[in-house]
Amino acid sequence: MNNYSTKEVFLEDNTLITSKTDLKGKIIYGNQDFIKYGEYTEKEFLDKPHNLIRHPQMPKAAFKLLWETLYKKKEFFAFVCNLSKNNHTYWVFANITPSYDEQGNVIGYYSVRRRPSKEGVMTMQGIYNKLLEIEKTQGMEKSFAFALDFLKENKLEWDSFMVELQNKGKEGGYR
Ligand SMILES: Cc1cc2nc3c(=O)[nH]c(=O)nc-3n(C[C@H](O)[C@H](O)[C@H](O)COP(=O)(O)O)c2cc1C
Protein backbone atom coordinates (compact mmCIF):
# COMPACT_ATOMS: atom_id res chain seq x y z
CA MET A 1 0.00 0.00 0.00
CA ASN A 2 1.61 3.19 -1.14
CA ASN A 3 0.24 6.70 -0.74
CA TYR A 4 2.72 8.22 -3.17
CA SER A 5 2.99 8.10 -6.92
CA THR A 6 6.07 5.88 -6.80
CA LYS A 7 6.27 2.25 -7.86
CA GLU A 8 6.18 -0.19 -4.96
CA VAL A 9 8.48 -3.23 -4.85
CA PHE A 10 8.29 -6.14 -2.41
CA LEU A 11 10.90 -8.12 -0.53
CA GLU A 12 11.21 -11.89 -1.00
CA ASP A 13 10.90 -14.37 1.85
CA ASN A 14 14.67 -14.83 1.93
CA THR A 15 15.62 -11.15 1.53
CA LEU A 16 17.94 -9.84 4.25
CA ILE A 17 18.78 -6.18 3.74
CA THR A 18 21.75 -5.54 6.01
CA SER A 19 23.73 -2.41 6.79
CA LYS A 20 26.12 -1.15 9.43
CA THR A 21 26.86 2.37 10.59
CA ASP A 22 29.40 4.16 12.74
CA LEU A 23 28.31 5.91 15.95
CA LYS A 24 27.09 8.93 14.02
CA GLY A 25 24.81 6.75 11.89
CA LYS A 26 26.95 7.01 8.75
CA ILE A 27 26.81 3.86 6.63
CA ILE A 28 30.02 1.79 6.66
CA TYR A 29 28.60 -1.39 5.09
CA GLY A 30 25.64 -2.49 2.97
CA ASN A 31 25.10 -6.00 1.64
CA GLN A 32 23.94 -7.04 -1.83
CA ASP A 33 20.25 -6.78 -0.88
CA PHE A 34 20.88 -3.26 0.48
CA ILE A 35 22.26 -2.35 -2.95
CA LYS A 36 19.48 -4.19 -4.81
CA TYR A 37 16.58 -2.48 -2.99
CA GLY A 38 18.21 0.91 -2.32
CA GLU A 39 19.54 1.14 -5.86
CA TYR A 40 22.55 3.13 -4.68
CA THR A 41 26.12 2.01 -5.37
CA GLU A 42 28.58 1.56 -2.50
CA LYS A 43 30.27 4.74 -3.60
CA GLU A 44 26.97 6.59 -3.29
CA PHE A 45 25.92 5.26 0.14
CA LEU A 46 29.18 4.79 2.07
CA ASP A 47 29.71 7.50 4.69
CA LYS A 48 26.13 8.79 4.20
CA PRO A 49 23.32 8.57 6.77
CA HIS A 50 20.39 6.25 6.16
CA ASN A 51 18.12 9.18 5.41
CA LEU A 52 19.39 8.59 1.87
CA ILE A 53 16.60 5.98 1.67
CA ARG A 54 14.14 7.84 3.91
CA HIS A 55 10.59 7.91 2.59
CA PRO A 56 8.48 11.07 3.15
CA GLN A 57 5.68 8.74 4.27
CA MET A 58 7.65 7.97 7.47
CA PRO A 59 6.90 10.22 10.46
CA LYS A 60 9.82 11.87 12.28
CA ALA A 61 8.52 10.47 15.58
CA ALA A 62 9.42 6.92 14.47
CA PHE A 63 13.08 7.89 14.07
CA LYS A 64 13.09 9.76 17.37
CA LEU A 65 11.94 6.55 19.04
CA LEU A 66 14.62 4.60 17.13
CA TRP A 67 17.48 6.85 18.29
CA GLU A 68 16.21 7.11 21.87
CA THR A 69 16.10 3.32 22.02
CA LEU A 70 19.61 2.93 20.57
CA TYR A 71 21.03 5.51 23.00
CA LYS A 72 19.63 3.35 25.81
CA LYS A 73 21.71 0.49 24.33
CA LYS A 74 18.54 -1.39 23.40
CA GLU A 75 17.53 -2.98 20.11
CA PHE A 76 14.68 -1.52 18.09
CA PHE A 77 12.05 -3.17 15.88
CA ALA A 78 9.91 -1.32 13.36
CA PHE A 79 8.01 -1.49 10.11
CA VAL A 80 9.76 1.04 7.89
CA CYS A 81 8.84 2.37 4.49
CA ASN A 82 11.94 3.18 2.44
CA LEU A 83 12.51 4.92 -0.88
CA SER A 84 15.11 3.80 -3.44
CA LYS A 85 17.25 6.01 -5.64
CA ASN A 86 14.82 5.49 -8.53
CA ASN A 87 11.77 6.27 -6.39
CA HIS A 88 10.72 2.71 -5.63
CA THR A 89 8.95 2.32 -2.32
CA TYR A 90 9.71 -0.80 -0.26
CA TRP A 91 8.39 -1.74 3.17
CA VAL A 92 10.63 -3.70 5.53
CA PHE A 93 10.49 -5.14 9.03
CA ALA A 94 13.69 -3.78 10.57
CA ASN A 95 15.70 -4.84 13.58
CA ILE A 96 18.36 -2.30 14.57
CA THR A 97 20.90 -3.03 17.29
CA PRO A 98 23.97 -1.39 18.79
CA SER A 99 27.31 -3.15 18.01
CA TYR A 100 29.82 -3.54 20.84
CA ASP A 101 33.58 -3.91 21.18
CA GLU A 102 35.16 -6.44 23.57
CA GLN A 103 34.92 -3.97 26.46
CA GLY A 104 31.19 -3.54 25.89
CA ASN A 105 31.43 -0.05 24.38
CA VAL A 106 28.97 0.77 21.61
CA ILE A 107 31.00 1.16 18.40
CA GLY A 108 28.20 1.49 15.85
CA TYR A 109 24.82 0.18 14.79
CA TYR A 110 23.59 -2.73 12.72
CA SER A 111 20.33 -3.26 10.87
CA VAL A 112 18.71 -6.33 9.34
CA ARG A 113 15.51 -5.82 7.33
CA ARG A 114 13.16 -8.61 6.35
CA ARG A 115 9.96 -9.01 4.39
CA PRO A 116 7.24 -7.51 6.62
CA SER A 117 3.89 -9.05 7.46
CA LYS A 118 0.87 -7.64 5.65
CA GLU A 119 -0.85 -6.98 8.97
CA GLY A 120 2.17 -5.00 10.20
CA VAL A 121 2.35 -2.79 7.13
CA MET A 122 -1.40 -2.13 7.11
CA THR A 123 -1.52 -1.34 10.83
CA MET A 124 1.60 0.82 10.90
CA GLN A 125 0.73 2.68 7.72
CA GLY A 126 -2.46 3.82 9.42
CA ILE A 127 -0.59 4.89 12.54
CA TYR A 128 2.21 6.61 10.58
CA ASN A 129 -0.36 8.53 8.51
CA LYS A 130 -1.93 9.80 11.71
CA LEU A 131 1.51 10.78 13.10
CA LEU A 132 2.40 12.54 9.84
CA GLU A 133 -0.83 14.49 9.92
CA ILE A 134 -0.08 15.63 13.49
CA GLU A 135 3.50 16.52 12.50
CA LYS A 136 2.25 18.72 9.68
CA THR A 137 -0.17 20.66 11.84
CA GLN A 138 1.24 20.52 15.39
CA GLY A 139 4.86 19.37 15.11
CA MET A 140 6.87 16.32 16.05
CA GLU A 141 6.68 16.55 19.85
CA LYS A 142 2.89 16.24 19.60
CA SER A 143 3.05 13.26 17.25
CA PHE A 144 5.57 11.56 19.54
CA ALA A 145 3.26 12.18 22.52
CA PHE A 146 0.34 10.79 20.48
CA ALA A 147 2.32 7.59 19.79
CA LEU A 148 3.18 7.15 23.47
CA ASP A 149 -0.47 7.75 24.46
CA PHE A 150 -1.63 5.23 21.86
CA LEU A 151 0.66 2.57 23.36
CA LYS A 152 -0.44 3.41 26.90
CA GLU A 153 -4.16 3.39 26.10
CA ASN A 154 -3.86 0.05 24.35
CA LYS A 155 -1.56 -1.34 27.07
CA LEU A 156 1.14 -2.06 24.49
CA GLU A 157 4.93 -2.01 24.62
CA TRP A 158 6.41 -0.86 21.31
CA ASP A 159 8.75 -3.88 20.94
CA SER A 160 6.23 -6.60 21.62
CA PHE A 161 3.60 -4.78 19.52
CA MET A 162 6.03 -4.81 16.54
CA VAL A 163 7.12 -8.43 17.01
CA GLU A 164 3.51 -9.61 17.40
CA LEU A 165 2.46 -7.75 14.24
CA GLN A 166 5.34 -9.36 12.36
CA ASN A 167 4.54 -12.85 13.67
CA LYS A 168 0.96 -12.48 12.44
CA GLY A 169 2.41 -12.68 8.94
CA LYS A 170 4.01 -16.10 9.30
CA GLU A 171 1.53 -17.59 6.83
CA GLY A 172 2.42 -15.09 4.12
CA GLY A 173 4.24 -11.78 4.06
CA TYR A 174 3.37 -8.45 2.55
CA ARG A 175 2.89 -8.30 -1.23
C1 LIG B 1 21.67 0.91 11.62
C2 LIG B 1 20.64 1.93 11.19
C3 LIG B 1 19.76 1.63 10.15
C4 LIG B 1 18.82 2.57 9.72
N5 LIG B 1 18.00 2.22 8.69
C6 LIG B 1 17.13 3.14 8.20
C7 LIG B 1 16.31 2.84 7.08
O8 LIG B 1 16.30 1.73 6.54
N9 LIG B 1 15.48 3.82 6.61
C10 LIG B 1 15.43 5.07 7.18
O11 LIG B 1 14.68 5.93 6.69
N12 LIG B 1 16.18 5.35 8.28
C13 LIG B 1 17.02 4.43 8.79
N14 LIG B 1 17.79 4.74 9.89
C15 LIG B 1 17.56 6.04 10.57
C16 LIG B 1 18.33 7.19 9.97
O17 LIG B 1 19.58 7.27 10.61
C18 LIG B 1 17.58 8.53 10.19
O19 LIG B 1 17.34 8.73 11.57
C20 LIG B 1 16.23 8.59 9.45
O21 LIG B 1 16.37 8.24 8.10
C22 LIG B 1 15.57 9.98 9.55
O23 LIG B 1 16.42 10.90 8.99
P24 LIG B 1 16.22 12.47 9.17
O25 LIG B 1 16.07 12.71 10.65
O26 LIG B 1 17.47 13.09 8.62
O27 LIG B 1 15.00 12.82 8.42
C28 LIG B 1 18.74 3.82 10.35
C29 LIG B 1 19.61 4.12 11.42
C30 LIG B 1 20.54 3.19 11.83
C31 LIG B 1 21.47 3.53 12.98
pLDDT of residue 137: 97
What's the CA-to-centroid distance between 50 and ligand 1, angstroms? 4
Per-residue pLDDT at 73: 96
Ligand 1: does its nearest atom lie under 6 Å from the Cβ of 49? yes
pLDDT in tens, 48-63: 999 999 999 999 999 9
Distance in Å, CA 138 to ligand 1 centroid: 23
Task: Give the chain's domains with CATH numbers.
Answer: 16-164 (3.30.450.20)
Identify each DSSP E strand in 22-128 by its residue range. Answer: 27-30, 76-83, 88-100, 106-114
Give pLDDT, residue 1. Answer: 47
Note the pLDDT of residue 5. 58
d(CA 60, CA 102): 33
DSSP 8-state secondary structure symbol assigned to residue 74: -
3-class secondary structure, 41? coil
Question: With a 6 A CB cut-off, is 27 part of the ligand 1 pocket?
Answer: no
Cα separation, 55 vs 53, in Å, equals: 6
Distance 100 CA to ligand 1 centre (A): 19
C-alpha 101 chain-centroid distance:
25
Closest of 19, 83, 92 to residue 52, by C-alpha: 83
Predicted TM-score (pTM) of this structure: 0.95
Rounded to an integer, what distance in angstroms lies between the CA atom of residue 40 and that of residue 38?
A: 5
Q: Which residues of the chain have pLDDT under 70?
A: 1-5, 170-172
